[in-house]
Amino acid sequence: MNTLRRYAGIYRIMWRNSLIREMNFKANFLLWMLVEMLWFFGQIVFINVLFGYVNTIGDWTKWEVVLLIGTNQIIGQIFQAFFYVNVANLPELIRTGKLDLMLLQPVDTQFAACTRQFGLDNIVNVIVGIAIVSFSLVQLKVAPSCAQVALYLVAVGCGVAIHYSIMFGLATMSFWIVRAQGLIHGYYNLFNIARYPRAVFSGVFRWIFSWIIPVLVVANVPAELLVRPFSQPWGALAHLAAAALLVLGMVRVFWLFALRRYASASS
Amino acid sequence: MAVAKYLKVFDIGLQNTFVYRWNFLLRSVFGLVPLAGTVFIWRAIFQARGANVAGYDYAGMIFYFLMVLLVDNLVTPTEDEWQIAADIRDGQINSFLTKPMHYLGYRMTLFASYRLLYTLVTLPLVAGIFCVFHDYVVLPQHWWTWPVAALSIGMAGLIQFFLAYSLAMLAFWILEISTIVFIFFSFEYFLSGQLFPLDLMPHWLQGALHWMPFSYELYFPVSVFLEKHQGADLWQGLGIQAMWLAIMYGVAQFMWRRGVEHYQAVGG
Protein backbone atom coordinates (compact mmCIF):
# COMPACT_ATOMS: atom_id res chain seq x y z
CA MET A 1 0.00 0.00 0.00
CA ASN A 2 2.83 2.34 0.90
CA THR A 3 4.57 1.60 -2.37
CA LEU A 4 1.40 2.44 -4.25
CA ARG A 5 1.09 5.75 -2.42
CA ARG A 6 4.70 6.60 -3.14
CA TYR A 7 4.25 5.93 -6.87
CA ALA A 8 1.05 7.98 -6.93
CA GLY A 9 2.95 10.87 -5.33
CA ILE A 10 5.75 10.66 -7.89
CA TYR A 11 3.23 10.47 -10.69
CA ARG A 12 1.47 13.61 -9.44
CA ILE A 13 4.74 15.55 -9.54
CA MET A 14 5.52 14.32 -13.06
CA TRP A 15 2.09 15.55 -14.15
CA ARG A 16 2.60 18.97 -12.65
CA ASN A 17 6.00 19.40 -14.29
CA SER A 18 4.67 18.31 -17.61
CA LEU A 19 1.70 20.69 -17.40
CA ILE A 20 4.03 23.58 -16.64
CA ARG A 21 6.22 22.63 -19.59
CA GLU A 22 3.24 22.32 -21.88
CA MET A 23 1.93 25.74 -20.99
CA ASN A 24 5.28 27.22 -22.03
CA PHE A 25 4.64 26.14 -25.60
CA LYS A 26 1.06 27.18 -26.21
CA ALA A 27 1.38 27.43 -30.00
CA ASN A 28 2.77 23.93 -30.14
CA PHE A 29 -0.10 22.66 -28.00
CA LEU A 30 -2.67 24.17 -30.37
CA LEU A 31 -0.89 22.87 -33.48
CA TRP A 32 -0.73 19.27 -32.18
CA MET A 33 -4.40 19.46 -31.37
CA LEU A 34 -5.04 20.59 -34.93
CA VAL A 35 -2.94 17.73 -36.37
CA GLU A 36 -4.92 15.10 -34.47
CA MET A 37 -8.25 16.64 -35.39
CA LEU A 38 -7.31 16.72 -39.08
CA TRP A 39 -6.54 12.99 -39.00
CA PHE A 40 -9.72 12.23 -37.14
CA PHE A 41 -12.03 14.22 -39.39
CA GLY A 42 -10.24 12.89 -42.45
CA GLN A 43 -11.21 9.37 -41.35
CA ILE A 44 -14.82 10.40 -40.90
CA VAL A 45 -14.85 11.96 -44.37
CA PHE A 46 -13.36 8.73 -45.74
CA ILE A 47 -16.16 6.69 -44.13
CA ASN A 48 -18.70 9.12 -45.57
CA VAL A 49 -17.26 8.61 -49.04
CA LEU A 50 -17.38 4.80 -48.64
CA PHE A 51 -20.98 4.84 -47.43
CA GLY A 52 -21.88 6.86 -50.51
CA TYR A 53 -21.49 3.53 -52.34
CA VAL A 54 -22.79 0.96 -49.84
CA ASN A 55 -25.24 0.76 -46.94
CA THR A 56 -23.29 -1.62 -44.75
CA ILE A 57 -19.68 -2.75 -44.42
CA GLY A 58 -19.44 -6.20 -42.85
CA ASP A 59 -23.04 -5.69 -41.51
CA TRP A 60 -22.11 -2.41 -39.81
CA THR A 61 -24.13 0.66 -40.74
CA LYS A 62 -22.61 4.08 -41.28
CA TRP A 63 -23.22 5.49 -37.81
CA GLU A 64 -22.06 2.28 -36.18
CA VAL A 65 -18.77 2.65 -38.06
CA VAL A 66 -18.52 6.31 -37.05
CA LEU A 67 -19.04 5.23 -33.43
CA LEU A 68 -16.31 2.63 -33.89
CA ILE A 69 -13.92 5.29 -35.22
CA GLY A 70 -14.85 7.61 -32.35
CA THR A 71 -14.15 4.81 -29.86
CA ASN A 72 -10.84 4.09 -31.56
CA GLN A 73 -10.02 7.78 -31.24
CA ILE A 74 -10.88 7.86 -27.52
CA ILE A 75 -8.68 4.84 -26.76
CA GLY A 76 -5.79 5.96 -28.95
CA GLN A 77 -5.80 9.48 -27.55
CA ILE A 78 -5.95 8.35 -23.91
CA PHE A 79 -2.89 6.20 -24.62
CA GLN A 80 -1.17 9.12 -26.33
CA ALA A 81 -2.00 11.50 -23.48
CA PHE A 82 -0.44 9.31 -20.80
CA PHE A 83 2.29 7.27 -22.48
CA TYR A 84 2.97 7.95 -26.15
CA VAL A 85 5.72 10.59 -25.97
CA ASN A 86 7.55 8.67 -23.27
CA VAL A 87 7.49 5.34 -25.05
CA ALA A 88 8.41 7.00 -28.35
CA ASN A 89 11.46 8.51 -26.65
CA LEU A 90 12.64 5.20 -25.24
CA PRO A 91 14.77 4.25 -28.29
CA GLU A 92 16.53 7.60 -27.99
CA LEU A 93 17.22 6.99 -24.28
CA ILE A 94 18.72 3.64 -25.15
CA ARG A 95 20.74 4.91 -28.12
CA THR A 96 22.30 7.78 -26.18
CA GLY A 97 22.75 5.90 -22.91
CA LYS A 98 20.48 8.28 -21.00
CA LEU A 99 18.64 5.27 -19.67
CA ASP A 100 21.51 4.89 -17.16
CA LEU A 101 20.11 7.72 -15.09
CA MET A 102 16.74 6.00 -14.76
CA LEU A 103 18.29 2.67 -13.85
CA LEU A 104 19.83 4.39 -10.86
CA GLN A 105 16.63 5.99 -9.61
CA PRO A 106 14.93 4.21 -6.71
CA VAL A 107 11.78 3.46 -8.69
CA ASP A 108 10.89 0.83 -11.22
CA THR A 109 12.65 1.71 -14.49
CA GLN A 110 9.66 0.94 -16.68
CA PHE A 111 7.56 3.29 -14.55
CA ALA A 112 10.20 6.03 -14.65
CA ALA A 113 10.65 5.77 -18.40
CA CYS A 114 6.93 5.72 -19.23
CA THR A 115 5.50 8.48 -17.07
CA ARG A 116 7.73 11.48 -17.61
CA GLN A 117 5.48 13.51 -19.88
CA PHE A 118 1.81 13.92 -20.40
CA GLY A 119 -0.02 15.33 -23.45
CA LEU A 120 -2.75 17.80 -22.60
CA ASP A 121 -3.70 18.29 -26.26
CA ASN A 122 -4.66 14.62 -26.47
CA ILE A 123 -7.16 15.07 -23.65
CA VAL A 124 -8.96 17.66 -25.78
CA ASN A 125 -9.08 15.09 -28.57
CA VAL A 126 -10.49 12.46 -26.21
CA ILE A 127 -13.35 14.88 -25.57
CA VAL A 128 -13.86 15.32 -29.32
CA GLY A 129 -14.01 11.50 -29.58
CA ILE A 130 -16.61 11.32 -26.80
CA ALA A 131 -18.69 13.95 -28.61
CA ILE A 132 -18.57 11.95 -31.86
CA VAL A 133 -19.55 8.72 -30.06
CA SER A 134 -22.47 10.47 -28.35
CA PHE A 135 -23.60 12.01 -31.63
CA SER A 136 -23.50 8.59 -33.31
CA LEU A 137 -25.62 7.13 -30.49
CA VAL A 138 -28.23 9.84 -31.11
CA GLN A 139 -28.18 9.08 -34.85
CA LEU A 140 -28.58 5.39 -34.11
CA LYS A 141 -31.36 6.13 -31.59
CA VAL A 142 -29.62 3.92 -29.04
CA ALA A 143 -29.67 4.80 -25.35
CA PRO A 144 -27.18 2.55 -23.58
CA SER A 145 -27.92 1.50 -20.02
CA CYS A 146 -25.64 2.38 -17.10
CA ALA A 147 -24.32 -1.16 -17.06
CA GLN A 148 -23.42 -0.89 -20.74
CA VAL A 149 -21.58 2.37 -20.20
CA ALA A 150 -19.68 0.85 -17.28
CA LEU A 151 -18.67 -2.15 -19.38
CA TYR A 152 -17.69 0.23 -22.18
CA LEU A 153 -15.35 2.07 -19.84
CA VAL A 154 -13.75 -1.16 -18.65
CA ALA A 155 -13.27 -2.18 -22.28
CA VAL A 156 -11.73 1.21 -23.11
CA GLY A 157 -9.28 0.71 -20.25
CA CYS A 158 -8.27 -2.69 -21.62
CA GLY A 159 -7.85 -1.11 -25.04
CA VAL A 160 -5.47 1.50 -23.65
CA ALA A 161 -3.46 -1.30 -22.03
CA ILE A 162 -3.14 -3.06 -25.41
CA HIS A 163 -2.02 0.15 -27.14
CA TYR A 164 0.57 0.68 -24.45
CA SER A 165 1.84 -2.89 -24.50
CA ILE A 166 2.27 -3.13 -28.24
CA MET A 167 4.04 0.20 -28.56
CA PHE A 168 6.22 -0.51 -25.53
CA GLY A 169 7.09 -3.93 -26.92
CA LEU A 170 8.13 -2.34 -30.22
CA ALA A 171 10.19 0.33 -28.46
CA THR A 172 11.92 -2.33 -26.37
CA MET A 173 13.14 -3.94 -29.58
CA SER A 174 15.43 -0.93 -29.96
CA PHE A 175 17.79 -2.56 -27.46
CA TRP A 176 18.78 -4.61 -30.52
CA ILE A 177 17.89 -2.37 -33.46
CA VAL A 178 19.55 1.01 -33.14
CA ARG A 179 17.57 3.09 -35.60
CA ALA A 180 14.05 2.72 -34.33
CA GLN A 181 11.92 5.07 -36.45
CA GLY A 182 10.69 1.98 -38.26
CA LEU A 183 9.36 0.66 -34.95
CA ILE A 184 7.35 3.80 -34.17
CA HIS A 185 6.04 3.56 -37.70
CA GLY A 186 5.08 -0.02 -36.89
CA TYR A 187 2.76 1.13 -34.11
CA TYR A 188 0.77 3.33 -36.48
CA ASN A 189 0.67 0.63 -39.14
CA LEU A 190 -0.58 -2.04 -36.73
CA PHE A 191 -3.32 0.16 -35.28
CA ASN A 192 -4.34 1.32 -38.74
CA ILE A 193 -6.71 -1.68 -38.92
CA ALA A 194 -8.20 -1.19 -35.44
CA ARG A 195 -10.75 1.29 -36.80
CA TYR A 196 -12.39 -1.20 -39.19
CA PRO A 197 -15.25 -3.54 -38.21
CA ARG A 198 -13.60 -6.85 -37.37
CA ALA A 199 -16.33 -8.71 -39.25
CA VAL A 200 -14.68 -7.84 -42.58
CA PHE A 201 -11.50 -9.74 -41.68
CA SER A 202 -11.15 -13.47 -42.01
CA GLY A 203 -8.78 -16.42 -41.95
CA VAL A 204 -5.33 -16.48 -40.42
CA PHE A 205 -5.10 -12.69 -40.58
CA ARG A 206 -8.12 -12.28 -38.33
CA TRP A 207 -6.85 -14.91 -35.90
CA ILE A 208 -3.39 -13.33 -35.58
CA PHE A 209 -4.74 -9.83 -35.04
CA SER A 210 -7.38 -11.01 -32.56
CA TRP A 211 -5.14 -13.20 -30.41
CA ILE A 212 -1.41 -12.70 -30.98
CA ILE A 213 -1.36 -8.95 -31.70
CA PRO A 214 -4.91 -8.20 -30.58
CA VAL A 215 -5.50 -4.86 -32.35
CA LEU A 216 -8.81 -5.97 -33.86
CA VAL A 217 -10.55 -6.27 -30.48
CA VAL A 218 -9.27 -2.96 -29.09
CA ALA A 219 -11.98 -0.68 -30.47
CA ASN A 220 -14.39 -3.27 -31.82
CA VAL A 221 -15.35 -4.84 -28.50
CA PRO A 222 -16.23 -1.59 -26.68
CA ALA A 223 -18.14 -0.33 -29.74
CA GLU A 224 -20.10 -3.60 -29.92
CA LEU A 225 -20.86 -3.40 -26.19
CA LEU A 226 -22.44 -0.01 -26.73
CA VAL A 227 -24.47 -0.44 -29.91
CA ARG A 228 -25.14 -4.15 -29.95
CA PRO A 229 -26.58 -5.05 -26.58
CA PHE A 230 -26.05 -8.77 -26.98
CA SER A 231 -27.55 -11.09 -24.47
CA GLN A 232 -24.09 -12.22 -23.36
CA PRO A 233 -21.53 -9.43 -23.51
CA TRP A 234 -19.12 -11.41 -21.36
CA GLY A 235 -17.54 -13.47 -24.11
CA ALA A 236 -16.21 -10.50 -26.07
CA LEU A 237 -15.21 -8.62 -22.95
CA ALA A 238 -13.39 -11.65 -21.55
CA HIS A 239 -11.51 -11.98 -24.83
CA LEU A 240 -10.45 -8.32 -24.66
CA ALA A 241 -9.46 -8.47 -20.99
CA ALA A 242 -7.50 -11.70 -21.45
CA ALA A 243 -5.72 -10.26 -24.48
CA ALA A 244 -4.85 -7.08 -22.57
CA LEU A 245 -3.46 -8.95 -19.56
CA LEU A 246 -1.54 -11.31 -21.78
CA VAL A 247 0.24 -8.65 -23.86
CA LEU A 248 0.89 -6.54 -20.78
CA GLY A 249 2.57 -9.51 -19.07
CA MET A 250 4.46 -10.45 -22.21
CA VAL A 251 6.03 -7.03 -22.73
CA ARG A 252 6.96 -6.85 -19.04
CA VAL A 253 8.91 -10.10 -19.37
CA PHE A 254 10.42 -8.92 -22.66
CA TRP A 255 11.45 -5.60 -21.08
CA LEU A 256 13.16 -7.28 -18.10
CA PHE A 257 14.94 -9.64 -20.48
CA ALA A 258 16.10 -6.70 -22.63
CA LEU A 259 17.29 -4.70 -19.61
CA ARG A 260 19.63 -7.51 -18.62
CA ARG A 261 21.20 -7.19 -22.03
CA TYR A 262 21.60 -3.41 -21.84
CA ALA A 263 25.24 -2.35 -21.91
CA SER A 264 24.81 1.45 -21.95
CA ALA A 265 26.12 3.63 -24.75
CA SER A 266 28.16 6.47 -23.30
CA SER A 267 31.93 6.41 -23.25
CA MET B 1 34.53 16.79 -61.80
CA ALA B 2 31.22 18.28 -60.78
CA VAL B 3 29.56 14.93 -61.37
CA ALA B 4 32.30 13.00 -59.57
CA LYS B 5 31.74 14.72 -56.24
CA TYR B 6 28.00 14.03 -56.36
CA LEU B 7 28.72 10.41 -57.22
CA LYS B 8 30.79 10.27 -54.06
CA VAL B 9 27.84 11.69 -52.07
CA PHE B 10 25.61 9.05 -53.68
CA ASP B 11 28.02 6.38 -52.53
CA ILE B 12 28.13 7.78 -48.99
CA GLY B 13 24.35 7.84 -48.96
CA LEU B 14 24.21 4.18 -49.98
CA GLN B 15 26.66 3.18 -47.27
CA ASN B 16 24.89 5.19 -44.58
CA THR B 17 21.56 3.71 -45.46
CA PHE B 18 22.78 0.17 -45.74
CA VAL B 19 23.61 0.27 -42.04
CA TYR B 20 19.91 0.69 -41.40
CA ARG B 21 18.63 -2.05 -43.70
CA TRP B 22 16.80 -3.72 -40.79
CA ASN B 23 14.95 -0.50 -40.21
CA PHE B 24 13.87 -0.52 -43.87
CA LEU B 25 12.81 -4.12 -43.80
CA LEU B 26 10.78 -3.73 -40.59
CA ARG B 27 9.18 -0.63 -41.97
CA SER B 28 8.01 -2.34 -45.09
CA VAL B 29 6.88 -5.49 -43.25
CA PHE B 30 4.70 -3.40 -40.94
CA GLY B 31 3.53 -1.46 -43.97
CA LEU B 32 1.80 -4.63 -45.16
CA VAL B 33 -0.76 -4.50 -42.34
CA PRO B 34 -2.61 -1.41 -43.64
CA LEU B 35 -2.47 -2.88 -47.15
CA ALA B 36 -4.14 -6.06 -45.90
CA GLY B 37 -6.72 -3.92 -44.06
CA THR B 38 -7.46 -2.08 -47.29
CA VAL B 39 -7.88 -5.33 -49.22
CA PHE B 40 -10.32 -6.71 -46.60
CA ILE B 41 -12.36 -3.50 -46.46
CA TRP B 42 -12.71 -3.31 -50.24
CA ARG B 43 -13.62 -6.97 -50.43
CA ALA B 44 -16.48 -6.28 -48.00
CA ILE B 45 -17.55 -3.21 -49.97
CA PHE B 46 -17.58 -5.04 -53.30
CA GLN B 47 -19.49 -7.94 -51.69
CA ALA B 48 -22.16 -5.49 -50.50
CA ARG B 49 -22.34 -3.58 -53.77
CA GLY B 50 -21.70 -6.16 -56.44
CA ALA B 51 -19.52 -4.34 -58.93
CA ASN B 52 -18.22 -1.00 -60.05
CA VAL B 53 -17.29 1.69 -57.55
CA ALA B 54 -16.49 4.88 -59.46
CA GLY B 55 -15.25 2.93 -62.48
CA TYR B 56 -13.24 0.35 -60.53
CA ASP B 57 -14.02 -3.33 -60.18
CA TYR B 58 -12.56 -5.31 -57.28
CA ALA B 59 -9.45 -6.40 -59.22
CA GLY B 60 -8.87 -2.85 -60.48
CA MET B 61 -9.17 -1.47 -56.97
CA ILE B 62 -6.65 -3.94 -55.54
CA PHE B 63 -4.23 -3.24 -58.38
CA TYR B 64 -4.58 0.49 -57.72
CA PHE B 65 -3.41 -0.03 -54.12
CA LEU B 66 -0.55 -2.31 -55.22
CA MET B 67 0.68 0.42 -57.54
CA VAL B 68 0.33 3.01 -54.79
CA LEU B 69 2.52 0.82 -52.59
CA LEU B 70 5.13 0.48 -55.32
CA VAL B 71 5.24 4.17 -56.29
CA ASP B 72 5.20 5.23 -52.65
CA ASN B 73 8.27 3.05 -52.01
CA LEU B 74 9.99 4.54 -55.03
CA VAL B 75 9.43 8.24 -54.47
CA THR B 76 8.24 9.18 -50.96
CA PRO B 77 10.98 10.67 -48.75
CA THR B 78 10.98 8.90 -45.40
CA GLU B 79 13.47 10.66 -43.19
CA ASP B 80 14.91 13.42 -45.37
CA GLU B 81 12.95 16.27 -43.82
CA TRP B 82 13.93 15.27 -40.28
CA GLN B 83 17.60 14.95 -41.20
CA ILE B 84 17.66 18.34 -42.95
CA ALA B 85 15.92 20.01 -40.02
CA ALA B 86 18.39 18.40 -37.62
CA ASP B 87 21.32 19.62 -39.78
CA ILE B 88 20.02 23.16 -39.45
CA ARG B 89 19.13 22.96 -35.78
CA ASP B 90 22.44 21.48 -34.69
CA GLY B 91 24.51 23.81 -36.85
CA GLN B 92 25.84 21.00 -39.08
CA ILE B 93 24.91 23.12 -42.03
CA ASN B 94 27.86 25.45 -41.32
CA SER B 95 30.21 23.12 -43.11
CA PHE B 96 28.10 23.29 -46.27
CA LEU B 97 28.21 27.04 -46.44
CA THR B 98 31.94 26.82 -47.10
CA LYS B 99 31.98 23.78 -49.37
CA PRO B 100 31.91 24.03 -53.18
CA MET B 101 28.70 22.05 -53.26
CA HIS B 102 25.15 23.24 -53.12
CA TYR B 103 23.16 21.87 -50.20
CA LEU B 104 20.12 21.22 -52.39
CA GLY B 105 22.23 19.18 -54.81
CA TYR B 106 23.78 17.29 -51.92
CA ARG B 107 20.40 16.49 -50.43
CA MET B 108 18.90 15.48 -53.77
CA THR B 109 21.76 13.06 -54.34
CA LEU B 110 21.25 11.56 -50.90
CA PHE B 111 17.49 11.33 -51.53
CA ALA B 112 18.15 9.46 -54.78
CA SER B 113 20.49 7.00 -53.09
CA TYR B 114 18.04 6.41 -50.19
CA ARG B 115 15.18 5.72 -52.54
CA LEU B 116 17.27 3.41 -54.69
CA LEU B 117 18.42 1.36 -51.73
CA TYR B 118 15.02 1.33 -50.07
CA THR B 119 13.44 0.06 -53.26
CA LEU B 120 16.11 -2.64 -53.63
CA VAL B 121 15.85 -3.83 -50.01
CA THR B 122 12.06 -3.99 -50.13
CA LEU B 123 11.90 -5.35 -53.68
CA PRO B 124 11.62 -9.04 -52.69
CA LEU B 125 8.70 -8.19 -50.43
CA VAL B 126 6.91 -6.06 -53.02
CA ALA B 127 7.56 -8.68 -55.70
CA GLY B 128 6.09 -11.29 -53.35
CA ILE B 129 2.92 -9.24 -52.90
CA PHE B 130 2.58 -8.77 -56.65
CA CYS B 131 2.88 -12.54 -57.01
CA VAL B 132 0.19 -13.19 -54.41
CA PHE B 133 -2.17 -10.80 -56.23
CA HIS B 134 -0.96 -11.67 -59.75
CA ASP B 135 -4.53 -12.25 -60.95
CA TYR B 136 -5.29 -8.57 -60.47
CA VAL B 137 -2.16 -7.20 -62.14
CA VAL B 138 -3.01 -5.61 -65.49
CA LEU B 139 -0.04 -4.31 -67.46
CA PRO B 140 -0.51 -1.29 -69.76
CA GLN B 141 -1.81 -1.99 -73.26
CA HIS B 142 0.28 0.65 -75.03
CA TRP B 143 4.07 0.54 -74.94
CA TRP B 144 4.34 4.30 -74.55
CA THR B 145 2.51 4.19 -71.22
CA TRP B 146 5.73 2.84 -69.68
CA PRO B 147 7.98 5.85 -70.44
CA VAL B 148 5.18 8.38 -69.75
CA ALA B 149 4.41 6.75 -66.39
CA ALA B 150 8.13 6.66 -65.56
CA LEU B 151 8.38 10.38 -66.35
CA SER B 152 5.34 11.12 -64.18
CA ILE B 153 6.68 8.99 -61.30
CA GLY B 154 10.01 10.82 -61.53
CA MET B 155 8.29 14.21 -61.39
CA ALA B 156 6.18 13.02 -58.43
CA GLY B 157 9.36 12.07 -56.57
CA LEU B 158 10.91 15.48 -57.19
CA ILE B 159 7.73 17.31 -56.14
CA GLN B 160 7.67 15.30 -52.90
CA PHE B 161 11.36 15.93 -52.32
CA PHE B 162 11.18 19.69 -52.90
CA LEU B 163 8.15 19.89 -50.64
CA ALA B 164 9.95 18.01 -47.86
CA TYR B 165 13.02 20.19 -48.38
CA SER B 166 11.02 23.42 -48.22
CA LEU B 167 9.24 22.31 -45.05
CA ALA B 168 12.55 21.38 -43.43
CA MET B 169 13.89 24.87 -44.24
CA LEU B 170 11.38 26.20 -41.69
CA ALA B 171 13.87 24.98 -39.09
CA PHE B 172 15.83 28.18 -39.82
CA TRP B 173 13.05 30.12 -38.09
CA ILE B 174 11.39 27.72 -35.66
CA LEU B 175 12.82 25.01 -33.42
CA GLU B 176 10.15 22.37 -33.76
CA ILE B 177 8.90 21.73 -37.29
CA SER B 178 7.16 18.40 -36.66
CA THR B 179 3.66 19.85 -36.16
CA ILE B 180 3.80 21.62 -39.51
CA VAL B 181 5.20 18.55 -41.24
CA PHE B 182 2.41 16.41 -39.80
CA ILE B 183 -0.25 18.88 -40.94
CA PHE B 184 1.12 18.51 -44.48
CA PHE B 185 1.27 14.72 -44.05
CA SER B 186 -2.41 14.58 -43.21
CA PHE B 187 -3.36 16.55 -46.32
CA GLU B 188 -1.10 14.32 -48.40
CA TYR B 189 -2.59 11.16 -46.89
CA PHE B 190 -6.17 12.09 -47.73
CA LEU B 191 -5.67 14.09 -50.92
CA SER B 192 -2.83 12.32 -52.74
CA GLY B 193 -4.77 9.10 -53.28
CA GLN B 194 -2.99 7.05 -50.64
CA LEU B 195 -6.15 6.24 -48.68
CA PHE B 196 -8.43 5.72 -51.70
CA PRO B 197 -8.44 6.62 -55.40
CA LEU B 198 -9.48 10.21 -55.88
CA ASP B 199 -12.16 9.20 -58.41
CA LEU B 200 -14.30 8.37 -55.37
CA MET B 201 -14.32 11.97 -54.18
CA PRO B 202 -17.29 14.25 -54.85
CA HIS B 203 -16.96 15.91 -58.28
CA TRP B 204 -16.48 19.47 -57.03
CA LEU B 205 -13.54 18.32 -54.89
CA GLN B 206 -12.02 16.38 -57.79
CA GLY B 207 -12.16 19.59 -59.82
CA ALA B 208 -10.25 21.46 -57.13
CA LEU B 209 -7.74 18.64 -56.62
CA HIS B 210 -6.99 18.70 -60.34
CA TRP B 211 -5.23 22.02 -59.80
CA MET B 212 -3.63 21.29 -56.42
CA PRO B 213 -0.22 19.64 -56.02
CA PHE B 214 -1.30 16.70 -53.82
CA SER B 215 -2.74 14.43 -56.48
CA TYR B 216 0.46 14.79 -58.55
CA GLU B 217 2.47 13.25 -55.72
CA LEU B 218 0.91 9.80 -56.05
CA TYR B 219 -2.53 9.47 -57.61
CA PHE B 220 -1.70 10.94 -61.00
CA PRO B 221 1.38 8.83 -61.82
CA VAL B 222 -0.44 5.68 -60.68
CA SER B 223 -3.48 6.45 -62.82
CA VAL B 224 -1.21 7.20 -65.79
CA PHE B 225 0.16 3.68 -65.42
CA LEU B 226 -3.39 2.33 -65.16
CA GLU B 227 -4.15 4.21 -68.41
CA LYS B 228 -7.00 6.19 -66.88
CA HIS B 229 -5.93 9.28 -68.78
CA GLN B 230 -5.92 9.53 -72.56
CA GLY B 231 -5.01 12.16 -75.15
CA ALA B 232 -5.45 15.80 -74.16
CA ASP B 233 -6.41 14.81 -70.61
CA LEU B 234 -3.05 13.06 -70.18
CA TRP B 235 -1.02 15.96 -71.61
CA GLN B 236 -2.85 18.49 -69.48
CA GLY B 237 -2.14 16.42 -66.37
CA LEU B 238 1.54 16.13 -67.21
CA GLY B 239 1.63 19.88 -67.88
CA ILE B 240 0.13 20.69 -64.46
CA GLN B 241 2.51 18.24 -62.83
CA ALA B 242 5.50 19.92 -64.53
CA MET B 243 4.18 23.30 -63.42
CA TRP B 244 4.03 22.15 -59.79
CA LEU B 245 7.50 20.71 -60.08
CA ALA B 246 8.81 24.10 -61.25
CA ILE B 247 6.92 25.92 -58.49
CA MET B 248 8.17 23.59 -55.76
CA TYR B 249 11.73 23.93 -57.05
CA GLY B 250 11.38 27.71 -56.89
CA VAL B 251 9.98 27.54 -53.37
CA ALA B 252 12.80 25.25 -52.23
CA GLN B 253 15.46 27.64 -53.59
CA PHE B 254 13.68 30.67 -52.15
CA MET B 255 13.37 29.10 -48.69
CA TRP B 256 17.06 28.18 -48.69
CA ARG B 257 18.16 31.70 -49.65
CA ARG B 258 15.96 33.41 -47.07
CA GLY B 259 16.88 30.82 -44.46
CA VAL B 260 20.62 31.30 -44.84
CA GLU B 261 20.18 35.08 -44.58
CA HIS B 262 18.38 34.56 -41.31
CA TYR B 263 20.74 31.87 -40.05
CA GLN B 264 22.68 32.39 -36.83
CA ALA B 265 24.89 29.29 -36.82
CA VAL B 266 23.92 27.83 -33.46
CA GLY B 267 26.65 25.72 -31.97
CA GLY B 268 29.09 26.69 -34.74
Verify whether the Cβ–Cβ distance A182 to B79 is below 8 Å: no
Q: How far is CA B18 from CA A94, B80, B94, in A?
A: 21, 15, 26
Smallest CA–CA distance, residue B137 to chain A, in Å, is 22
Question: Does residue B144 have a pLDDT over 70?
Answer: yes
CB contact under 8 A, A35 and B183: yes
| B265 pLDDT above the threshold of 70 | no
Q: Is the distance from CB of B182 to CB of B211 less than 8 angstroms? A: no
> Does the beta-carbon distance from A57 to B45 stay under 8 Å?
yes
Which residue of B18, B45, B56, B177 is the best one to mutate when testing the A interface, meaning the one whose CB has the most A CBs within 10 A? B45
Q: In whole numbers, what is the pLDDT of chain A averaged over residues?
A: 89
CA A96, distance to chain mean position in Å, is 26
Q: Judge: A179–B23 Cβ closer than 8 Å, yes or no.
A: yes
Mutation for testing the B interface, residue in A48, A176, A179, A191 having most B CBs under 10 Å: A179
Global pTM reads 0.90
**C-beta atoms of A196 and B40 within 8 A:** yes
Q: Count structural domains, chain A.
A: 1
- Which B residues in the span 12-71 are in contact with A, Cβ-Cβ below 8 Å? 19-20, 22-24, 26-27, 30-31, 33-34, 36-37, 40-41, 43-45, 48-49, 53-54
**Does the interface predicted TM-score (ipTM) exceed 0.95?**
no
Report if residue A183 sits inside a domain.
Answer: yes
Please check whether residue A91 lies inside any domain of the structure.
yes
CB pairs under 8 A between A and B: 101
Q: Is residue A266 part of a domain?
A: no
Using a CB–CB cutoff of 8 Å, tell me whether B204 touches chain A.
Answer: no
Q: Does B133 touch chain A (CB under 8 A)?
A: no
- Res. A170: pLDDT tops 60: yes
Mean pLDDT of B51-55: 85
pLDDT of residue A175: 86
Among B162, B145, B184, B183, smallest CA distance to B249 is for B162
| Cβ pair A189:B49 closer than 8 A | no
Residues in chain B: 268
Amino acid of residue A174: S
Could you tell me if residue A186 is inside a domain? yes
Tell whether A267 is covered by a domain. no
Give a yes or no: residue A171 inside a domain.
Answer: yes
pLDDT: is A214 or A36 the higher one? A214
The predicted structure's pLDDT at residue A21: 80
Mean pLDDT for the stretch of residues B237-262: 95
By mean pLDDT, which of A9-18, A70-79, A148-157, B235-244 is the weakest? A9-18
Which of residues B200 and B101 earns the better pLDDT score?
A: B200
Nearest to A195 by CA among A74, A113, A82: A74
Name the H helices within chain A: 2-24, 26-50, 62-79, 85-96, 99-104, 109-114, 120-140, 146-172, 181-191, 203-207, 215-218, 220-227, 234-261
A179 contacts chain B (CB < 8 A): yes
| Partners of residue B24 in chain A, C-beta under 8 Å | 182
Q: How confident is the model at residue A242 (pLDDT cuts 50, 70, 90)?
A: very high
Residue A70 has pLDDT above 50, yes or no: yes
Compute how many other C-beta atoms are within 10 angstroms of the C-beta atom of residue B80.
21
Determine contact, residues B156/B221, Cβ cutoff 8 Å: yes
| Collapsed DSSP state (helix, strand, coil) of residue B110 | helix
Most A CBs within 10 A among B40, B43, B121, B206, hence the mutation to make, goes to B40
* pLDDT for res A129: 95
At B161, give phi and psi (nearest 5°): -65, -50
Residues B130, B66 contacting (CB under 8 angstroms): yes
Residue A180 has what pLDDT? 66
Split at pLDDT 50, 70, 90, the class of B266 is low
Domain range spanning residue A254?
2-261
